[in-house]
Amino acid sequence: MVASGDRAALLERLTLARTARLNLPTTAGPPEALTEIRVGVSDRPGVLAEIATLATATSTNIYDLEIAHSAEGAQGVLILLVDAAAAAGFVDAIVGRGYRCSARDLT
């Protein structure tokens, strides 16, 4: 579709994909109730467990996570989707353990 320049077919396919994605079951609230947290991490055993333990300690539910690995070395970014109401305490705990992180609301 892209190669042939069929804009209408591509738009239809993307619209169908969006509809399917929005209809996936989830317990996460609406976007305004969620915060995305990005944590710079080294690629070593136990990092994910440490962050998950901090989530438990701060009563933060992790709805989704992704690890973006760096091609430049043994590091990456952990991307977490959490309740906005719990995000500040979770970020404080992460920073308190020496990690660098950022948070942004999805609104």
* CA–CA separation, 2 and 74 (whole Å): 35
Number of domains in the chain: 1
Q: How far apart are CA 15 and CA 8, in angstroms?
A: 11
pTM assigned to the model = 0.71
CATH number for the domain that contains residue 52: 3.30.70.260
How, if at all, do strands 34-42 and 62-69 pair? unpaired
Q: Could you tell me if residue 72 is inside a domain?
A: yes
What is the pLDDT, as a whole number, of residue 101?
95
Q: Is the dihedral of CA 20, 23, 26, 30 positive or negative?
A: positive
Range of the domain at 74: 29-105
Tell me the two tokens of residue 74.
């043994």
Residue 8 lies in a domain: no
In a domain, 48, yes or no: yes
User: pLDDT tens digits for the chain (107 residues)?
Assistant: 788 888 898 899 888 887 776 666 566 677 778 999 999 998 889 999 999 999 999 999 999 899 988 777 788 899 999 999 999 999 999 999 999 999 998 87
In a domain, 23, yes or no: no
